[in-house]
């Protein structure tokens, strides 16, 4: 006897691929940015990012840590399917960081610095939505449980 599954139908392959491409691109950008903010001397970093001179070094390093952890969170939970719900939480966190970056640059009237965090924030927000709804990644445990129910 077969038990109907209550879960929603899986997203098509193209949609899943699109979200994977977005996740990988965002992970590369945020990972590189995080490593740079963590490892570069503040004076060198200030040549590339002028706002760094006006921010406490601890804040700059903290932003680097947040970006690096977010980059890992975009890939690792989804790829291993171990706690894949962490992936949309990572992308949501990066969306918040980018929203704060946009607001920071707007308050400083650094309008030329707004487009990049705005685009990255929108893309990470899109990943949040996609991984919570149409292209959700289920954990290995859930898939095994559903397969057992289906085969019963």
Q: Is the pLDDT of residue 63 over 50?
A: yes
State the average pLDDT for the chain: 90
pLDDT in tens, 88-118: 999 999 999 999 999 999 999 999 999 999 9
Structural domain span for residue 109: 13-151
7 occurs within a structural domain: no
Residue 8 is assigned to a structural domain of this protein: no
Query: What SS3 class is residue 72?
Result: helix
Residue 4 lies in a domain: no
1 found inside a domain: no
Average pLDDT for 127-152: 81
Give a yes or no: residue 62 inside a domain.
yes
CA 73 to chain centre: 7
Q: Is residue 117 part of a domain?
A: yes
**Does 3 reside within a domain?**
no
> What residues contact residue 76 under an 8 Å CB cut-off, 6+ apart?
none
pLDDT band per the 50, 70, 90 thresholds, residue 3: very low
How many separate domains does the chain show? 1
| Residue 148 pLDDT greater than 60, yes or no | yes
Return d(Cα 151, Cα 6) in angstroms, integer. 15
Cα–Cα distances in angstroms (integers) from residue 128 to residues 9, 32, 86, 110, 124, in the given order:
19, 21, 10, 27, 6
- What pLDDT does residue 5 have? 42
Residue range 38-61, pLDDT digits in tens: 999 999 999 999 999 999 999 999
Provide the 3-class DSSP secondary structure of residue 109.
coil
pLDDT of 4 reads 41
């Amino acid at each position: 006897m077969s038990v109907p599954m209550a879960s929603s139908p899986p997203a098509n392959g193209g949609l899943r691929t699109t979200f994977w491409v977005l996740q990988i691109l965002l992970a590369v950008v945020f990972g590189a940015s995080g490593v740079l903010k963590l490892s570069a001397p503040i004076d060198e970093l200030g040549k590339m990012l002028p706002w760094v001179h006006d921010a406490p070094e601890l804040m700059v390093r903290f932003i680097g840590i947040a970006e690096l952890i977010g980059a890992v969170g975009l890939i690792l939970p989804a790829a291993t399917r171990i706690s894949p719900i962490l992936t949309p939480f990572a992308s949501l966190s990066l969306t918040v960081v980018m929203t704060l970056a946009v607001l920071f640059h707007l308050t400083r009237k650094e309008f030329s610095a707004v487009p990049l965090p705005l685009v990255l924030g929108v893309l990470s927000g899109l990943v949040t939505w996609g991984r919570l709804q149409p292209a959700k990644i289920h954990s290995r445990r859930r898939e095994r449980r559903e397969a057992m129910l289906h085969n019963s």
